[in-house]
Structures are given as structure tokens and as C-alpha cells.
Structure 1
Amino acid sequence: MSKTAAFFNHITEGYACKGEYITLGAGMLGEETITDALVNIPLKTMNRHGLIAGATGTGKTKTLQVLAENMSEKGIPVLLMDVKGDLSGLAQPSPGHPKIDERHEKIGIPFAAKKFPVEVLTLSEQDGVRLRATVTEFGPVLLSRILELSETQSGIVAIIFKYCDDHQMPLLDLKDFKKMLQFITNEGKEEITAEYGRISTASTGAILRKIIQIEQQGGGVFFGEKSFEVDDLTRIDEQGRGVISVLRLTDIQDKPKLFSTFMLQLLAEVYDTFPEQGDSGRPELVIFIDEAHLVFDEASKALLSQIESIVKLIRSKGVGLYFVTQNPKDIPEDVLAQLGMKIQHALRAFTAKDRKALKLAAQNYPDSVYYDTEKVLTSLGIGEAVVSILNEKGIPTPLVRTLLRAPMSRMDILTKNELATLIENSTLAKKYNEVVDRESAYELLNEKIARIEKEKTAEEAERERAKTKRRSTTRRTTSTRMNPIVKVLTSATFIRSVFGILKKVI
């Protein structure tokens, strides 16, 4: 048997699927593409998480786009974190190109241009469906982790939540929380101390400074109502395709706190609300985090800890997490160890540090008699990658250099008019883009503070009246006591003299 025939059998046997699957591309032996040696990914293992890595310009984002399209076609909803702003083109079909046809002829599968159901989401003032969450939904533990508070400060946050629960004061946005900090430090200090113990003013000041940091990065827009319901990420359209939710994050790179806040809240809510799935035949939702190195570079310890926990546990909820970054070393080792699918585009090795990183990256993949992995990683062309996934039995598949299929949708952004039309036709935009500011802790505390001040003013006025009355009485008494005529007339000697005279006359 020739080496090419042996390689063909090696790939087709290694990537054979009995259930539903996605075709990623065809295997390559050296520079030659082996037509019909298809690399298939079973849907059954798509909730085992994954990594798409490679240097800038090697095709990572297009690989993400291919996976999102094919999962949508299979009826699986997708959430994409679009940091570079180039994924909205999923909503329009590819214009096609002779090079695309040539690529697909090599792979052995036909090319069809298609558009997909897309929902554009935003955390900021950008156009799109607004994602919001209330402070109450975060809860004291998660909020304390986001703010990176000490144990003492976390205890104060817990007291604030308990007080608001006990007094039916909804904590909806940051102004509610800031008002509570003001209240427990000033007007409500005695009440809080009596019920929950003494609170340090220095600690409340430190918490307030952390809140201001979140506000400066746009958190004031994120916290509030109407809260986004994570079930809206799992919608299916009329044709049975999964809706692709594209979260626009082009203005978020310099706002790590806001992104950390969102990531923690989203992952926590998905984990808390999604039912247990076990080893189902397909995922319920797949989340792609593009430019994940930005997340991990700027992430707080709380975010890293939360992501590590979620990656380990959320698989049973039918959710797959896929990290897209430049180098596998950008991902914490505890997270990297949990990833079942690895798609590695070309890496550069211009410096000693690059060569060291290249060697470490090569060690993340199974050994292969067909490849020198380190050499292959530096010789991959655009739209090529080395791939290793889990088969339907959960066993890592053979490493294969793969010529990847082209996206069926447009490999470019939407125009302003196309984007405006997409948002205008969105049912979620109508549901979430109206700002709601109902009565909450801020308004209720203002009323309570006004009552306290009114009562305090009345008490002070009453005390002042009583004080004035006491002064007046004291003045009269003092005046009478010091009058010399009265003093003489009321003296004992004078009275005896008068009564003595009267007695003699009588």
C-alpha cells in the first residue's frame, strides 16, 4: 500500500462518525491535499470545549466562522464574542470566488453560498440588542469576586444584599448599590450597626472606589433592566437553524473590568439555569471567545478561577466553550487541559522566545508518523491547520494537517445599512432596548433618608423648644432671686420685724 493510500485510510478511519458531524476540511500529506480524506467533528463531542490558535492573519477567525455556520445548519445556537468586528458578515451569503471553488474541489465537497440567522448584541452604546443584568442577579459572592474585595469588604456587600432583601429594596443598577453604601455609612449607620454590627467607613469607601472603576469602563450601561435572559441565546429559526448571536466587542479591549464582569455573569447564569444534559448527542449552546488572550491577560483572579470551574463543570449542561487566540500558552494550563478539540494554525518562530513557545505548542498534540509537528506548524498556509479532536468514544484522533473549507457566508463586515436593517427586524431589540428605571433601592432609600431627616429635624426642633423653655424658666427664677427689693421683702428678718410691730400695736 502506498503512503498516500495508508494516509487516506488513517484519516478516514480516525475521523469516521456514526452520528451527526461537521466536516472541517480534508487531510494533507506534505503540501498535497488528499481529496475525500475528510476531517469530521462529531457533534456529540462539541461540548468538550476547544481551542483555535495561530498567528495573526493565518485564518483563525474564518475557522471560527466555518464552525459557527455548520453548527447553525445543524440546529445548534452559537454565541460569538466579536472583538475585531468582522463576524457580522455571517448574516449575508458569500459572493463566491474561483479560489474558493478550487479549494473545495481539492477537499472533495461542494461549495454553497448561504446566509445565516444572526442577532447582533452589545454591552455598550453600540448598535445592537442591549445586554443588561441587575446587581441582584449577580448576588453578593459574584459581585465581590468581580470587585476583588477583601473578606471584610465582602461581608459588607453581603450585609447590603441582606438589608435590601429584608426591606424589599430591589438592587437593580449601580446607583442603587452606591446609594446603599452612602446610607449605611451615614443616615442608616445606627440602624445597620444595631442589626448587623459595626461597619468600617474605610471599607465602604474602598468598595465605592471599586464601583467607580466599573462605571468608568461602561458598567453603568450594563447594570440595570431589562435583564437579558440566557434562554434567548438558544433560539432556533423557522428553518430549524440555530441563531448565531454576535456580541460586538470592538470598543471593549480597553475595558477589561467590564468584559470580566460580563463573562462571569454570563457563565454563572448559564450554569445556574441550564438543565443537566449528561452526554447528549449534541450541545445546547456553543460559545466562541475570539481574541481570548485579551481576556486572560487582563482577567482578575476571580475571572480565571470562575472560568476554570465553569470549563470543568459546564459540559454537563450541554454547553461548549471555544477559545480563539494567538498561541496556546495564552490559555491557563488548567483550562487548556480540559479542551477536547485543538485547531492550530501557523505559528511564527522569529525569536528564541517564539521557538520555545513553538516547541511547547507542538507538545500539545499527539505524535504522528506523518508529521514533524514543529516543522509543520511553521509551514502552514492561510486556511490550513493541524487538527486533533475527540472521536465519538472520547478518544483523541490522529493529528492531521487540514485544508479547511471556506465560509459559506460573507468574509467581511456588514455595511451600516445592512446592520441597521438587521437590528430593526430583530424581535430581541424590541424586547431589550427600552430602558426601564422602575422604583428600586435608590428611590426607596431617598424616601427613607428624607423621612429620617424630617424626623431628625422635628426632634431637633423639639429639643430646641425644650431648651428655650428651660432657659426662660431659669432666667425668671434667677431674675426673681436677684431682685434686691424682693430679696428684702422676703427675708426672714424683715418678716419678723413686721410681725413684731403688728404684735405690739395689737
Structure 2
Amino acid sequence: MHLRFYEVAPRVPYDEEVGFAHFAGTPFFVMYARESEELKVYLATMVSKQSLLHYVGAKEAETLPAHYRWWGRLKYRKGKAFYHDVEPVDMQSFLRGLPPGSAYAVWASAEPHLVGSHLGRLDAVLAKSGISGTKGRAAQVIREKLKEPILLADVRILAPRLETLRELEAAFLDRVLVLGFRTPLEFREGRIAGNSFAEWVRTPPRASAFSLLLGKRPFNMSAGKLAALAPIPNPSVIPIPPSRGLPLPDLPPIRPSGFTIGATPTGRVVKLDEGDLVRHCYIIGATGSGKTNALRLLVKNLVDRGSGAVVVLDPHGDLADSVAAYYAEQGARLTYFHPTLAPFSVNPLRLPNLASPEQARLLAMSNLMEMFTRVFWLGENAVYVKYILQNAMNALYSMKENPTFADVYRVILALHDGEFDIDGGPEWEAKLEFLKSIQQTSFVSALSRLELLATNEVLRRVFGSQDVDDTIFLEKGRLVAVNADLSSVGSEASYLIMAGFLMKLWYLVTARYGSGDRTPVFLIIDEFQRIADLSQVDVMLSEARKYGLHLILAHQHTGQLPDSVLKSVFSNTGMKLIMRINGDDVEKLKTIDRDFQTELGSVLSSLPNGGGVL
């Protein structure tokens, strides 16, 4: 027999109908120990931790309190009470009244010979009196007791002083009744000597058939009454920290060659592999929930395993700086960006390297107009502004392969002043005439939207040329960490930096499509809400997988995202890691799995730091 000891806690919401005898199996031992202000409960059982978690919170207990000097053991004062069941009344108030340094403990075990003893007594009663009168009532009491399993119970109170022990004994006896008897029970008191306590907590009670024949009457009761005698403490009555929420399935995915990301409450190791991230990953957690540490863990495993290229976009810099610092020490293949401290140049307007120049221009124009539309907030009515931008880009791409935002700005300015000329034939001449007829406000609008990219010193340095090879973003085993530090450059410039890198990456993965190069690219975006309004993100969620681009998106709460974006994220991410969240987020996210939404509603707001639902 192998018993394990646990420290247990009541679950919230609390169910007063459930006691330890309902689920702990036999034998089991429960001890309620008041060490200071709070009550601690210890349970020894052969039932697995996974099963216990359906009823109580449980964690392994290394030791039990053992400083007690006196104990009292419950026994029958009147032998005939042996056959009658015990009726506990309000044991919650008894537990609440335990003073510091005292304890109440119960051992319970199954003993088949008890049933034979009770049946023998029942036959004897019926033989003498039939079914009427006092003896008939006694027979009915025994029958009722026999309807449930009968368990041996070794009940003890432990205290530091004899006076305290006797006060607790009196309080206990006031709460335990035996039908038909006035004072059927008492305690046998004694000092706790040597190892007697340690031996007792590891030795279930026993009663042999021979001892019962000799007239010994060990304390016993039905399983139902024992559940009331050894209740799960009610946290609204008793000072005991509750374990919130109902348990969820404890079934980690089977990934023999995966990497470890944590363990379940029952100690089962949780592993993932790259295949779990192929259909994108969504991570949400309140500040301090452990979200950034979870992202670091993913970055480390993806880089260390050479799973593909790993690109981190981070507007605050905590994640990007920490992973860059770690891999700089490791001598790994690392490219780090900071807009002022460690800048490099990337030109989002540079044509992708495709076999067909015309196809490259079409792809570039499509992506560029998307960028202008979303980055510069061009609405459906900004027709003329879009027309100006599109023609400016066409003109530039006919002149050079790698125009910059500053070039676009200058061309629009020249078009506005009538000073731009290009040998484009009659078609271009017609466009120039039309452009001259466009209202000045449309030119001013286009110029104002480009001005920050074209004139801001930091953004010109970042996007004004390209001094790194495009292959760094697609190189297996390389980490590109981008800190778009908004504290250094401001919110708008930080947004444009992240949007520019995002566009560059989208260029590259779409341009290589059909080339045979399908190196996975894992794009990790912390503070995802800062670029969630880019419709390119929605396109990526639905289409990026076929281009070998896999998104890992993280932020704090659902209120940061428009409902349409949130719906797209929920629909298009194959893996979701929900860390501690609050308020309305619980109501929204518990519906991710409708079969367990009640359990999720209870669990999600009370997850510990570093804990999550996968």
C-alpha cells in the first residue's frame, strides 16, 4: 500500500455536499492543522493527484506538523453504540474554533468484518423482538447504517497542552450525536511519546474478525456520516486559502521530440513542436501574468533547435532586448535593431528578387498601396490621394529599382509643382494633365502622410536605404530582434517602424513562393495591438501559412483589439495560450471551448503567475 501525502485546499465555488470520504478512497487520512491564522489541511490517499483535482486543490506535502504534546482518541463509552451510526452536526464551526498549535485528524479504512458484526447484531435483535417496540427501532437503525459502506475511523484531537485538548474534546462531543444514547462517546487522553505520532499517521486502523468476536468495539461509522465528520473546509467560514475554479482536462499533447514549455498541475510534462505553431499562435495575459517569459521560452527553443528563421517585433523592447542579450553572449547568429542605439537600414520599397521584373513591380505596388492605405489611414473616399501615390510609385519604379519614401515625397512634390517630367509617352502625358487638375488638398494630404517617413531623421535612416541582405530574414537558425522603442522615437514612429519591417517580411516570403525555399519563418509580435489595425495582419493570418510564415501574437487584453480583428485571431490561430486575464476577457475567452466554458470561466481569472490554459 503506497499512500501519498498532499496539502489540499477547498475549491471555489464550494460544494458543501462533498466530503473527503466521497472521493479519497480507502484507506485515507485527513488532518486539519491550525498553525497560525490559517488552517492547513493534509490528506493521505492512494488516489492520484489528477483525480483529487476534480474535488480539491492539491500539492505534494513533504512534512506534516508534528509538535503536538497531547492527543485524545475517540472511543465508545457505551459498547452498544458500536452498532449505531454517528450524526455529526456543524463540524465547520469546530474546525473554525481550532486554536493555533492544535489539530484534528481522522484515519478511515474499510473493514469487511464490520458488516458481519452488524448483521449478527441485527439477527439477534430481530430474533428476540421481531419488528415492533424499542428493539424494532434498534433494528431499523442498524439497517439504515448498513445501507452504506461501514468504515473504521480513528479520530484524534491533538494539542500542545492538556487544558486545550480537553476544551476541544468537549466542543467536539457537543457536535456528535448517536441516536438513542445520551453520552455514548468519550476520548482516551495521553502524551505523545517518541515516534508514536509519525507511526500513527502512516498506519491505517485495523480490526480482525477475532478481535470483534472477543468483544472489542472499534469506532466506526457509515461512509456518508464520515464525509460530514471529515468535511472539506468551507473557505467562507474558515480561514483557509481556496483553490479557485474547476479542473480542466489534464491531457498534454504527445510530442516525443518536442520542447518542454511547462508542466500540468499533476506534474505531466507539456511539450510542443514546430507543427503546433504552423497555424499561428495567440497568447494573451494581463500585465505580470508571465506572458513575456512565455515568449522568451518559445524564442529560445525555436532558435536553439534551428527550427527556422525567428523574427521578433517589439515596440517596448523588453522581449527583443532580453533575447538579443542572451544570444549575443551565446555567439549565435543574431541581428539586432534599435532605432537609435543599433540601427540598420531596410527599404520596404525595394523590389523583391523575382524572375520576372514585371511581377516584382506588381507585387511591390500591391503591397505598397496596402501599406499606404493602412499606415496612412486612407479611407475609401481618398481616391485622389491613392491615385497620386500610385502614379508616383509607377514613375519611380520606371526610373530605379529601389526608391525610398523620401523619393516618393519628392516626386509628389514635383508633380504638385508641375516640375516632374518623364519620357512615358502619350499615356503618361495624359496622366500628368489629369494630376494637374486634382485639387491641391489631395496633394497636401498625400504629402502630409508621407512627411514623417520622408523627413524624420530616424525613419529616413531606417528606411532610406538598405545595408543588410534580405536573406537574414529567411535564414534558418538566425534571430532578428527588432526593438521599435517607442520611448525613444514616439508612438507614431515606432508604429511605422514595425509596419515597415512587417511589410518587408511579407514581401520576402511572398516573393520566394514557388522558388522551393520554404524555410519556416516564425514572426513573434509582442504588444500586437499596436499594429493590429493593419489589414495586412488579417491577410497574413489567413494566407501566411502557405508562404511558410507563422505568426505568434501576444498582448494583454481583448479590449486592445477591434472585434473584427479579435474574431480573425480566434478563427485563424491553431494554438492559444491564455494566461491570467480579468473582467470581460474571461467572458469572451471562455467560449473558445464551449464544452468547458464553465470551467474556463472559473479558472482564467485565478491562474498563478506563469500559469496558463493551452
When normalised by structure 2's length, the TM-score is 0.49
Q: CA deviation at 1:143?
A: 4.8
Cα 1:227/1:306, change in 2 over 3 Å: farther
Q: Distance in 1 between matches of 2:388 and 2:531?
A: 28
Q: Partner residue of 1:233? A: 473
The within-5 A match list for 1:334-483 is 334-348=568-582, 354=583, 356-365=584-593, 367-368=595-596, 372-387=599-614
Q: Partner residue of 1:221? A: 461
Cα 1:188/1:329, change in 2 over 3 Å: same
Cα 1:265/1:123, change in 2 over 3 Å: farther
Cα 1:372/1:212, change in 2 over 3 Å: same
Are residues 1:245 and 2:480 paired? yes
Are residues 1:85 and 2:312 paired? no
Q: Partner residue of 1:74? A: 305
Aligned residue pairs: how many? 338
Kept after mapping to 2: 8 A contact 1:85/1:250: yes
The within-5 A match list for 1:25-424 is 25-28=262-265, 34-35=266-267, 37-76=268-307, 77-87=309-319, 88-90=321-323, 115=330, 117=332, 119-122=334-337, 124-134=339-349, 138-139=364-365, 141-145=369-373, 146-149=375-378, 150-166=382-398, 168-169=399-400, 172-188=403-419, 194-196=429-431, 197-199=433-435, 200=438, 201-215=440-454, 218-226=458-466, 228-236=468-476, 242-251=477-486, 254-255=491-492, 257-259=495-497, 261-275=499-513, 284-296=520-532, 299=533, 303=534, 305-331=535-561, 332=565, 333-348=567-582, 354=583, 356-365=584-593, 367-368=595-596, 372-387=599-614
Q: CA deviation at 1:92?
A: 5.8
Q: Structure 2: which amino acid aligns with 1:359? A: E
Q: Structure 2: which amino acid aligns with 1:320? A: H
Q: Distance in 2 between matches of 1:135 and 1:123?
A: 21
Cα 1:43/1:171, change in 2 over 3 Å: closer
Aligned CA RMSD, in angstroms, stands at: 3.4
Kept after mapping to 1: 8 A contact 2:525/2:554: yes
Q: Distance in 2 between matches of 1:334 and 1:142?
A: 18
Higher strand share: 2
Q: Distance in 2 between matches of 1:5 and 1:324?
A: 30
Kept after mapping to 1: 8 A contact 2:310/2:479: yes
Of structures 1 and 2, the one with the larger relative CO (CA 8 A, separation 6+) is 1
Q: Distance in 2 between matches of 1:309 and 1:7?
A: 45
Q: CA deviation at 1:263?
A: 4.8
Q: Distance in 2 between matches of 1:294 and 1:317?
A: 24
Q: CA deviation at 1:16?
A: 0.9
1:15 to 243, 253, 267: 253
Structure 2 residue ranges without an equivalent (≥5) = 1-45, 54-247, 353-363
Find the residue that maps to 1:79 and give its secondary structure. Answer: strand
Cα 1:53/1:115, change in 2 over 3 Å: farther
Q: Structure 2: which amino acid aligns with 1:360? A: K
Structure 1 residue ranges without an equivalent (≥5) = 29-33, 95-113, 237-241, 349-353, 388-506
Cα 1:164/1:244, change in 2 over 3 Å: closer
Could you give the per-residue CA deviations for residues 366-411 of structure 1, whole angstroms, max 9, x where no partner exists? 6449x82122112211111111xxxxxxxxxxxxxxxxxxxxxxxx
Q: CA deviation at 1:147?
A: 2.8
Cα 1:205/1:136, change in 2 over 3 Å: farther
Kept after mapping to 2: 8 A contact 1:134/1:225: no
Find the residue that maps to 1:25 and give its secondary structure. Answer: strand
Q: Partner residue of 1:481? A: none
Q: Partner residue of 2:32? A: none
Kept after mapping to 2: 8 A contact 1:23/1:39: yes
Q: CA deviation at 1:162?
A: 2.8
Q: Structure 1: which amino acid aligns with 2:560? A: D
Q: Partner residue of 1:443? A: none
Cα 1:2/1:379, change in 2 over 3 Å: same
Q: Structure 2: which amino acid aligns with 1:322? A: I
Higher helix share: 1
Kept after mapping to 2: 8 A contact 1:133/1:222: no
Kept after mapping to 1: 8 A contact 2:344/2:462: no
Q: Structure 2: which amino acid aligns with 1:325? A: H
Kept after mapping to 1: 8 A contact 2:579/2:611: yes
Kept after mapping to 2: 8 A contact 1:51/1:322: yes
Cα 1:235/1:162, change in 2 over 3 Å: closer
When normalised by structure 1's length, the TM-score is 0.59
Q: Distance in 2 between matches of 1:368 and 1:151?
A: 48
